[in-house]
Amino acid sequence: MSYLGYVVGAYAVFVGLLVVDAIGSRLRLRRALQVARQRQQRQDARRSAATGPLELER
């Protein structure tokens, strides 16, 4: 009685789940970085708009 097919199948499922998990983690990280960049851009724009011009206009 050989369990080779069972063992190969189990390892294949394990590797498949690892790949799916790695891809999901990478996508979540990419989205989190994008959200952080957008938040930083909004804060920078808000700061530059709040300070106003440095010279007085006539």
- What pLDDT shows up at residue 23? 99
Using the predicted structure, report yes or no on whether residue 54 has a pLDDT greater than 70: no
- Measured over the CA atoms of residue 43, residue 49, residue 50 and residue 52, the dihedral's sign is positive
Please compute Rg for the chain using Cα positions. 26
Domain limits, the chain? 1-48
Give dist(CA 14, CA 26) in Å, integer: 18
Is the model more confident about 54 or about 29?
29
Give per-residue pLDDT as tens, 15-44.
999 999 999 999 999 999 999 999 999 999
pTM value? 0.65
Q: Alpha carbon 46 to chain centroid distance? A: 25
